[in-house]
Structure 1
Amino acid sequence: MKADKTSRTAQYMAFFRALETRQRERLFADPYAIHFLDSKLRIVTHLSQFSLIAKYIFNTINKKIPGALSSGIARTKYIDSLLEKAVSNGVEQVIILGAGFDTRAVRLNFLQSIPVIEIDHPNTSNFKAEIYKNRIGQIPENVKFLQIDFNKQNLDQLALEHNLDFSKPTAVIWEGVTNYLTEEAVKSTFVFISKFAANSHIIFTYVHKDILINPESFLGGKKLLEDLEKIEEHWTFGFLPEELPSYLNKFQIRLLEDLGANEYRKRFLPKRSEKGYEFYRTAIGIKE
């Protein structure tokens, strides 16, 4: 990410959620997402309420980044459902690492009485706080913004400075982040997560390691990586799915589920036929 800008990919995810919100049959509603878009994307979102224009928009996105839109929408709903289940199973606080323009703290009713701590790069965090204050009204009282550069700063120090409570069962959401980090940064973050109480849940995304080694083995993979390089948001890290359970075990985390884009797309969008983005995966583990 460019040092003086917010994440462009965070804005694209907000764009996808805003488009979904405009559909008559939708997986979820996110009335806040549109506030994070630039003027061009806002206009496109408003126009998407017309079915013919919506079809053109969806086809254009799918041609440019095969599977990204349907994958992103299905993944949002999947993580929402995993988080709701974690809260119903006793989670007492939520921490969102690399929060981007995630609006779960304000759009999910079951989080209104639970502390939500969002941790992100200062550029994105400050921009998001201003959007909440200027266009939504205010930052909810149960929501706190903390700032960090994951590749340069220490989460333990951040936790000490802000008195994070490790004794509470916690749901940690880590969406769209691991693929931008170094191997050491990923490891140190899992060490940090492992310090939370038993029954804490970690919900995170990652990319299949093969996309970094042989991008042409996935539909649209080569072009996607080239486009990310152009906006200086290149991917640097991935897991092999078969190695994930043993990796998490090192941190006393048991893998509960690990789905690729095709699988969570089939679960939540069974009538959609889009292909692509199969390398993007979502996993949930529990601290034992």
Structure 2
Amino acid sequence: MNQPRGVGVTAVFVAAARALESARDDRLFNDPWAGEFVRHSGWNPPIDEIDDASRDELATWVAVRTKFLDDFALDSVDNGCGQVVLLGAGLDTRAFRLPWLRQVTVYELDTPEMVDFKAAVLGDTTPDVAARAVVPVDLREDWPAALREAGFRSDVPTAWILEGLLLYLPDDAVETLMDGIGELSAPGSAIGATITNIDVAATMNDARVLRDTLISREGWLSMLHWSSTEDPVAWFDSHGWRATAVQTDEIAQRYGRTMPEESLLTQVRAGMRFLISAVRKQD
């Protein structure tokens, strides 16, 4: 089995955080595959080696965004979306673990290497309700064509999920991605996304959990490209979406969680993290 490398390591890190959340008595979700992904990766994330506050912040951030986007996906399908598209799906298992109330097709797009690793761990596991279509493609390539070839229909309302994705794409690739989403989105389509606006270089300097991995500090920085946006609502509006942006701390409180006030990460944070829900504007 090929172990994840490059950006794929970030998916393992997120899986490790989801495994921690799944083990809690008051968990916001249960992802029984998360721990298996970590074990098969051959990487032992150094989560236990950092200060408690930083560990809690990272785990809470992943737990809150996962729950938010879980709810977004279920609500979007309940409101008429017949397709869910996970762009940069990583080790996401929403097709399997969410309690879909009606038939939906979940498309998972990621690099061939990540797709192969995920398939080796999942084996012949199939979702109970959702139809699952895996599309091995680099999002810097012609992913809309690959998505259509997998059966995607642009006349069906679609819920798009962009979780922990945009930072890893160059500015021009982000714009191209949003243009592609817009062209494929029927009326009634929606987007759920994370927007991270932080001082990445400072975080890499001070947060040990992000240094002691299979990737060097320089490797991490080489993968982080998008300059983000200070006004997510206006940015989504410019791409044809009516968006609501909520800061992570507020969502955490909604779910009964609290982001630590002091940690290595909060000390260097120069921006904010937002959770986005948006609907396609009508012409």
Please indicate, yes or no, whether the TM-score normalized by the shorter chain is above 0.5: yes
Partner of 2:195: 206
Q: Which amino acid aligns with 1:23?
A: R
Give the share of equivalent positions with the same residue, in percent. Answer: 24
Task: Label 1:121 to 1:240 Cα distance change in 2 as closer, same or farther (>3 A).
Answer: same
Task: Label 1:111 to 1:11 Cα distance change in 2 as closer, same or farther (>3 A).
Answer: farther
Q: Across the two proteins, how many residue pairs are aligned to each other?
A: 264
Contact kept? 1:118, 1:145, Cα under 8 Å: yes
Partner of 1:154: 142
Distance 2:5 2:41 in 1: 17
Partner of 2:106: 116
Equivalent residue for 2:239, pick from 251, 260, 263: 251
| 1:19 lines up with 2:20 in the alignment | yes
Contact kept? 2:189, 2:279, Cα under 8 Å: yes
Q: 1:249: how far off? A: 2.5
Secondary structure of 1:11's aligned partner: helix
Contact kept? 2:229, 2:235, Cα under 8 Å: no
Report runs of 4+ in structure 1 exceeding 6 Å deviation. 39-44
Q: 1:161: how far off? A: 3.0
Distance 2:193 2:227 in 1: 12
Deviations along 1:209-249, one digit per CA (max 9) or x if unpaired, are: x525xx54xxx46435973653724311132232x333322
Distance 2:261 2:41 in 1: 25
Secondary structure of 2:113's aligned partner: helix
Distance 2:173 2:193 in 1: 14
Q: Which amino acid aligns with 2:135?
A: L
Deviations along 1:239-262, one digit per CA (max 9) or x if unpaired, are: 2232x333322332111x212332
Partner of 1:193: 181
Partner of 2:30: 29
Equivalent residue for 1:282, pick from 275, 279, 282: 275
Contact kept? 1:261, 1:281, Cα under 8 Å: yes
Q: 1:281: how far off? A: 2.4
Distance 1:108 1:156 in 2: 25
Partner of 2:76: 86
Contact kept? 2:135, 2:147, Cα under 8 Å: no
Distance 2:106 2:131 in 1: 6
Contact kept? 1:117, 1:145, Cα under 8 Å: yes
Partner of 1:166: 154
Q: 1:107: how far off? A: 0.5
Contact kept? 1:207, 1:237, Cα under 8 Å: no
Partner of 1:10: 11
Contact kept? 2:17, 2:58, Cα under 8 Å: no
Q: Which amino acid aligns with 1:186?
A: V
Q: Return 5+ residue gaps in structure 1 as ranges.
A: 45-56
Secondary structure of 1:109's aligned partner: coil
Secondary structure of 2:199's aligned partner: helix
Q: Which amino acid aligns with 1:14?
A: A
Contact kept? 1:132, 1:138, Cα under 8 Å: yes
Contact kept? 2:157, 2:186, Cα under 8 Å: yes
Secondary structure of 1:87's aligned partner: helix
Distance 2:236 2:279 in 1: 10
